[in-house]
Amino acid sequence: MKLLLISIFFFSIGHTCYSQNYIDFQKNITRAEIAILDSNYTEASNIYYDLFQNYDFVFLGNCVSACQSSIAINNDTLAFYFAERAIKHGLKMIQIESEKTLKLLKTKPQWKALSANYDSLRAIYTKSVNWELRKKINELNDRDQLWRDRHELQWWNLLWKPLIKRRWYKELEKIVEIELVPLIHQYGYPGEKLIGIDEKYMHHKFREERYNSSMVRLILIHYYSKNRNLDDAFLIEEIKKGNLNAKQFADFHDFKAQNDYYCQWSWNLKFLMQINKNVTEEDVNKRRAEIGLGTHEQRMRELKHFIESRKQRNNPKPFVEIIY
pLDDT, one tens digit for every residue, the chain (324 residues): 333 333 333 333 334 445 689 999 999 999 999 999 999 999 999 999 999 999 999 999 999 999 999 999 999 999 999 999 999 999 999 999 999 999 999 999 999 999 999 999 999 999 999 999 999 999 999 999 999 888 877 666 766 788 989 999 999 999 999 999 999 999 999 999 999 999 999 988 777 789 999 999 999 999 999 999 898 899 999 999 999 999 999 999 999 877 789 999 999 998 888 888 889 999 999 999 999 999 999 999 999 999 998 888 778 889 999 999
Tell me if 280 sits within 8 A of 296, measured CB to CB.
no
Q: What does the pLDDT read at residue 154?
A: 67
The residues near 205 (Cβ < 8 Å, ≥ 6 apart) are 145
pLDDT at 156: 65
Query: Which of 209, 222, 208 minimizes the C-alpha distance to 143?
Result: 222
- Alpha helices per DSSP H over 196-280: 215-223, 235-241, 246-256, 269-275
* pLDDT of 160: 73
Alpha helix (H) ranges present in the chain?
2-14, 22-37, 41-52, 60-72, 76-88, 93-98, 111-128, 131-152, 161-173, 181-187, 192-195, 215-223, 235-241, 246-256, 269-275, 281-290, 296-311
